[in-house]
Structure 1
């Protein structure tokens, strides 16, 4: 008996893909993380690979921490998991940090650069282009400034994250890259205002599942 070939999805993101729990400063377990929920609900016909890294940016090298620029890791990441049917990219939250001095448009440009690199990676079946889905993350709440994360993040992060989705939508319009704005369906927690809580992971899983079905089936 020949086993059916599974559809493979790589979820490439930051701490909201890794599953950071702001309440405990630990990681949510598989049953709570949106990637784990997605895998459970898609079933055995799919393989969902988590590639979340706390602090990850799209293209910026962080002067305080090494290895966080997504652009440097994306190609080897995708090729190591190939062949892939879909690459889901959700980044931008960390790019708003004041020390990177990026505008919201610059952040969108970096994410779009990643998306095109994924599309042209040859990591799809038979060396073809995998499908790519870019998700604009939920905006950072303005209250983040009054939490312990406020000082490391710096100022104007919520404003930039609020503007990000409109720039992504405009830059990806007319391309062969899929895009969704999560803000209407998912919100950040009320602890540090920049991470998903349990309900946020549930909502994100539902949103991504719908679009996975739309794209791959």
Structure 2
């Protein structure tokens, strides 16, 4: 079979991109193992600390398949979810302006571990309309370097992207920061205009499956750590 030079070049592009994305996926999966280990250690450590007395808060971890682990503490749940796909940043993203990425554009291809915060009662009572919040996301590239986009305690500088390697130590720091942020991220009463209407269907449902929406910032803008009523 005769193959033209153009086709050969295309084959190499396909193989190169597949190899790159596979490496990113493997690195992200390895990083997620560190996250899962530290989530489990957090729960074990808390319960060992309070083993001599009744634990004030219910703290436990739960693996959900290969790409999710949950950490429940008190009235909150943190969901750590690894996305199975590989992404590149938009051209206008700040990370694309860093010298680290400018030197080699393949460094901008990343896997993602998302960190969501939900109210634990949302799952306990099957309140499927309740909302959760993305409080942070970890990006890992082909060199196993990472950075975090997140709220307050979780946000890192993009300039650290070319230096940070996700280890057990850094995974613990991320989890501790996520828990700290969540503990201080309180459930606010909804704006009156949001809560004043309720349907007959909502009332007829039992509390175990009530369909009225609950969220920590329901009726408020959840943006850049500023909390203002929605218009």
Bin of the TM-score, shorter chain as denominator length? 0.3 to 0.5
Q: Looking at CA atoms only, which structure, 1 or 2, has the larger radius of gyration?
A: 2
- Report the TM-score, using the length of structure 1 for normalisation: 0.36
Greater per-residue strand proportion? 2
Q: Which has the higher contact order (CA 8 A, sep 6+)?
A: 1
Question: What's the TM-score, normalizing by structure 2?
Answer: 0.34
